[in-house]
Structure 1
Amino acid sequence: MDERPVEVSVEFIQHISEQLNSISSRLLQRPQESEADCLYYRLESVVRVLRRLAAVVSLPREDEIFNVLYSSLEHLSQADLCVNFAERGPTMTVGKEQVQFLLEQHFKVHDIARMYGVSYSSIRRWMKRYKLSVRQTYSDISSEDFKSIINNFIGQCPNSGYRIVVGHLRSLGIRVARSRVLEMIRHVDPVGTVLRSLDLQLTQRRPYSVPGPLSLWHMDGNHKLVRWRIVVHGGIDGYSRKIMYLKANSNNKAASVLDCFLEAVHEHGLPHRNETATSQEKVFITRELSGCGAMCGVICNYYSAFRHLEELSLLDPDQDLHLICLHYIMLPRLNHHLQMFTRTWDNHSLSTEGNMSPSQLWLAGHVMNSQLFLHTEDHRTLGIDWDAPVAVPDPVQEVILPEPPLALQDIINSHLSLTIDPLMLQKCNTEADFNEIKSNLGDWISECGVPSIFSSTFQDVTSVFTQILKHYIYHRVASMVQQFKAGMNSCNLFWEKVATDWHEFLPIFTHTSVRLSRTVFRELFYVKWTAEGSNRREKEEDTMYQWECLLMSIQEGETTDITFEELLTFATGADAIPPLDFPHKCSIEFMIRKKAPADYHFLLLVLLCCTYRGELHRKTS
């Protein structure tokens, strides 16, 4: 193959010689650590140019030249690298551990370069010297284990999309390709994937600026479970959106909020300013956290569960005994799921922040703003806005939760603590936890249809749990269900008719009793009024006013002599609304006693329902 002669100018050779002489002279003078990166960059550029030149011309003593150059690069690569922050303070050393830590925290190379104020190529050179790569941070996890993790998480947080699932995986230290996560979500939750794609809710975000981490915390409380005397208190860092604390309490006292705040300060540091969610801050917290399906799932799951227990008449929020037991069992579980949500939220990507997570923003903010508040004149007044309006307590908006007697709490909790561990299932994370469960509950689990419990291993936890669940839902009552079906079929094969036309019998077999209230009574009856403007209409309206007062007094507990059930029994003969409702609409009619004295008018309020009739008398002047 013919090679074309290439002429190299004298100026080029002279320039390369000057560069090498300058680098060698600096190396002989034992340069400072801060110059190591600069020299490495200059020498690497010379090597790159010479390699391109060697591809087209033959250099004298080529192998010897490149061996010396590569040896020099290897020598420089062993030096500690430093970055000089001229505007931020003293020199900061960037070692292998720091770069490796940031890569493990899923930082992009561009983000690391921006944090340290250097170029992208510099970070790449450091990674090459330290033999680090982004590919090394990806997890080697089997498809079966990967499916199990995502399936369990979506089971606890059903409305979770791609970003939240990735946040949960990151919280577990798992990093996989985006395509693999999307494929597994579609496989595990196909219905939810379709529903989320049809129900896109785009939240309009407004500009929000905070100087740096720990400069401003927002605090608020969630009262969706206040019916059962549970309040969730939370705090979020305004700069990074990282959750500082999130905890459910059985009261709404300032002391409980202070305990949460002090724990957060001990873990994250003291903020320079705090804002309670009164107006704009409340909008900020609601916009950030309520947009997350996992948070909604955690609260709504418990809300639905508590409501279901009430419908089954297994939970009465007015009974102290019920609430003490509920708090003992459910508060640790609720806080466990809130902590899981916190880790998931802190590791999920934010589209408005370049897909960086709150944890990444928190770390990057500390690196780039480390000198932000070092020159404050008086730390005793740090974060105080003297021009801000003074907060005035509003007794109308204050939510006070009644507390059960302390003696009763101590007795019940001491008894429950000896027999029930509310976090037993959540604690089964290792082989030792599973062995402890077998030791304490092995006989009971065996009676639940799992005789192989004592030979099971930690890998069989999911299977054991499934068998126990099937036992309680189906096998435990299977014989009684079969007897019920046989008894129904003994009446001219009535059960077969039910199975054929099941939709007709569904209201009967799935009926749950409705708690009687003033609203239910008002919907149950309709009033037969006389013509408007007549003399009787005025007396009828006066009578109905007294009727409403009676219902209200029963509702508020002011009247203890009669209950809604007794009132319904008096009117209809039934103390509850039938599953198929009454055959006819209940009505209220008014009748005048004809033999009343001339100076008295007596109205009879007559409740007509089915074939039952009762009268309520009222004497008016």
Structure 2
Amino acid sequence: MFGVQFNVIVPSDSYPLDSGPEILKFEIFSRLITKLQAAISRSPLDFDFLEFTCRQELYLLEALSRHVNVPEPILQAFQHLFRLVMSHSNCTDGTVATIAGETGRPRYDIDQEILEELLDVNLPVSCIAKLLGVSRSTINRRMREFGVSARQTYSTLTDEELDDAVIRIKNEMPSSGYRMVKGRLRSTGIHVQWRRVIASIIVRRTYSVKGPLSLWHVDTNHKLIRYNIVIFGAVDGYSRKVSYIITVFLSFTEDLFSVHMTFLPKLMADLEAFVEGWNNHPPRTEGNQTPEQLWHAGLDIQEPDVDWDFAADFGEHVDGAIVVPEFPCPFTNEEMAELQLLLHQNENDCTRTELYLVCREYVAAALSGTD
């Protein structure tokens, strides 16, 4: 493409280079010729490298022309060479690809696996269409083609089986509402309609209190738990009169130890059930989408530019920390194994309160040295 011929001016007696500008001009021209020869001699010809060389040498040559006399034909010829290289770099080879298809625009490529995964987390069709950048009708057509349906994800439970499942959840989390119950059902693999969940939860029964002392409401206050103080109170259900309020100071080692041994496993199981139910319950403010669904829907969102090292540096001192006193274990490994065996043997036959009393009796007897 480029037919370039370079002639190097070699200093001799007839062309003396006794002045500084002439020596500088000779060195620049020699460098220019060497660079261009190196760029053009590459096989195959690297136009990116040639463009870089021409740009760099042209900048140097134009800067030199402001200080020494550079012949105008040389400068114009080099500028013309640079324009030729640039025009070739800007031209892209286009190839025409012929694809045999039907009339009209091509169909959207939606992967069946991705569609089924989004349906498995119970995302609505409108949300799936928004995530994939297509219309709802396109999603519905693909679902018909793939033989999948949102209704197929509903569990085929009878009303009696659903009532039994709801009763178990209400026993685990007595204060849970219908949204939390639906989320807990999802976490156990049960997916039913809203109307069935509401119909199973609502118990249409009425009761009346005859008079004082017919019903008491007992509650506790744990704001002083850092001091091992728990406040118990009871309110009469008829007159709302405070019947009694007492404080319990859990200072005895056997009390705290027995509570931990009997109630911590149940507490951990309840917390795990709460987490599973919460992750699958649909908040109204988020369009009835569960936290699990919001997680899947937000995976493609770009992570914000946060300096995590700086953000996580809270210093060594944190105000307002709650310090719970720790008590050393009063038993040896053999005694702990014997106590755990005792609790395991009575776990199915006793309530949690009865199990606590059994544990406390054993602990008190062991600490006092009696059999």
TM-score, scaled to structure 2: 0.52
- Relative distance call for 1:158 and 1:360 in structure 2 (3 A) is same
Among candidates 382, 393, 397, match of residue 317 of structure 2? 393
Q: Is contact 2:226-2:322 (8 Å) kept?
A: no
Aligned to 1:184: 200
Residues in 1 aligned to 2:284 and 2:321: alpha-carbon distance in whole angstroms = 36
Residue 316 of structure 1, CA deviation: 6.3
1:205-224 superposed Cα distances (whole Å, 9 cap, x missing partner): xxxxxxxxxxxxxxxxxx76
Q: Which moved more, 1:342-351 or 1:155-164?
A: 155-164
Give CA-to-partner distance per residue, 1:84-115, whole Å, 9 cap, x none: xxxxxxxxxx4222212221211100011111
CA shift, 1:418, in A, is: 2.4
Aligned to 1:39: 106
Name the aligned partner's letter for residue 328 of structure 1.
M
Using a 3 Å threshold, how does the CA distance of structure 1 residues 161 and 38 change in structure 2: closer, same or farther? farther
Between the aligned residues of both structures, percent identity stands at 29
**Matching of residues 254-293 of structure 1 within 5 Å:** none
Q: CA deviation at 1:392?
A: 6.1
| Distance in 2 of aligned mates of 1:168 and 1:37 | 47
Partner of 2:44: none
- Aligned residue identity for 1:177: Q
- Give the equivalent residue in structure 1 for 2:283: 350
Q: Contact 2:173/2:270 (CA < 8 Å) preserved in 1?
A: no
* Structure 2 residue aligned with 1:420: 343
Counterpart-to-counterpart distance in 2, 1:139 and 1:423: 36
1:29 to 99, 113, 116: 99
Letter in structure 2 aligned against 1:99: L
For the structure 1 residues 151 and 225, does the alpha-carbon distance in structure 2 shift closer, same or farther, using more than 3 Å as the test? farther
The aligned runs of 1:550-561 (5 Å cut-off) are none
TM-superposition CA deviations, 1:33-52 (whole Å, max 9, x none)? xx999534xxxxxxxxxxxx
| Pair 1:336-2:276 in alignment | no
CA shift for structure 1 position 358: 0.7
Summarize the Cα distance change of 1:142–1:390 in structure 2 as closer, same or farther, 3 Å threshold: closer
Q: Contact 2:173–2:274 at 8 Å: present in 1 too?
A: no
Q: Structure 1: how far apart are the matches of 2:252 and 2:292?
A: 42
The separation in 1 between residues aligned to 2:340 and 2:113, in whole angstroms, is 45
CA distance in 1, matches of 2:100, 2:340: 68
* CA distance, structure 2, for counterparts of residue 414 and residue 161 of structure 1: 40
**Shift of residue 161 of structure 1?**
1.9
Whichever residue aligns with residue 322 of structure 2, its letter is V
| C-alpha separation in 1, matches of 2:111 and 2:154 | 21
**Partner amino acid for 1:358?**
P
Residue 340 (structure 1) shift: 0.4
Deviation at 1:360, TM superposition (A): 0.6
Residue 403 of structure 1: how far off its partner (Å): 1.4
8 Å CA contact 2:112, 2:146 repeated in 1: yes
Aligned residues of 1:348 and 1:357 also touching (Cα < 8 A): yes
Q: Distance in 1 between matches of 2:321 and 2:270?
A: 27
Residues 304 and 127 of structure 1, relative CA distance in 2, 3 Å threshold? farther
Return the alpha-carbon distance in structure 2 between the equivalents of residues 392 and 227 of structure 1: 21
User: In the alignment, residue 194 of structure 2 is paired with which amino acid?
Assistant: R
In structure 2, how many angstroms separate the alpha carbons of the residues matched to 1:101 and 1:423?
44
Distance 2:253 2:167 in 1: 37
Query: Which of 361, 364, 368 is the aligned partner of 2:294?
Result: 361
Secondary structure of the 1:184 match is helix
* Among 310, 315, 325, the residue aligned to 2:258: 325
- CA shift for structure 1 position 355: 1.2
How much does 1:400 deviate? 1.8
Aligned to 1:592: none
Closer, same or farther in 2 for the Cα pair 1:115/1:183, shift >3 Å?
A: same
Indicate if the aligned counterparts of 1:227 and 1:317 stay in contact, CA closer than 8 A.
no
Query: Any unmatched runs of 5+ in structure 1?
Result: 1-25, 41-80, 83-93, 193-222, 231-301, 306-310, 426-444, 446-467, 473-621
Asked whether the 8 Å contact 1:103–1:134 carries over to 2, the reply is yes
Tell me the CA shift for residue 326 of structure 1.
1.3
1:276-322 per-residue CA deviation (whole Å, 9 max, x = no partner) reads: xxxxxxxxxxxxxxxxxxxxxxxxxx9979xxxxx9x9x96211122
Q: Report the counterpart of residue 226 of structure 1 in structure 2.
A: 225
Counterpart position of 2:308: 383
The correspondence of residues 193-212 of structure 1 with structure 2, limited to 5 A, is none
Shift of 1:385: 4.5
Deviation at 1:139, TM superposition (A): 0.6
TM (norm. structure 1) is 0.32
- What is the CA distance between 1:225 and its match in structure 2? 8.5
Q: 1:331 & 1:349 partners in 2: Cα distance?
A: 29
Post-superposition CA distance 1:207-264 (Å, at most 9, x none): xxxxxxxxxxxxxxxx76935969xxxxxxxxxxxxxxxxxxxxxxxxxxxxxxxxxx
Distance 1:135 1:363 in 2: 21
Larger gyration radius, structure 1 or structure 2: 2
Distance in 2 between the 1:411 and 1:110 partners? 61
Indicate conservation of the 8 Å contact 1:107/1:360, yes or no: yes
Letter in 2 for 1:176: V
In the aligned structure 2, how far is the partner of 1:114 from the partner of 1:346?
Answer: 22
CA distance in 2, matches of 1:357, 1:97: 21
CA contact (8 A) 1:154 1:160 kept: yes
Shift of 1:149: 1.0
Conserved? CA contact 1:317–1:323, under 8 Å: yes
- Deviation track 1:596-618 (CA, whole Å, cap 9, x = no partner) reads xxxxxxxxxxxxxxxxxxxxxxx
- Which consecutive unaligned segments of at least 5 residues does structure 2 have? 1-95, 208-221, 234-243, 355-371
Does structure 1 retain, via aligned residues, the 8 Å contact 2:226–2:323?
no
Shift in Å at residue 346 of structure 1?
Answer: 0.8
Deviation at 1:155, TM superposition (A): 2.7
Distance 1:225 1:336 in 2: 25
Three-state SS of the structure 1 residue aligned to 2:297 is: helix
**Higher RCO by CA contacts (8 Å cutoff, separation 6 or greater):** 2
Give 4+ residue runs of structure 1 displaced > 4 Å after superposition: 35-38, 189-192, 227-230, 302-305, 388-392, 409-412, 422-425
What's the RMSD between the two structures over aligned residues? 4.2
Secondary structure of the corresponding residue to residue 421 of structure 1: helix
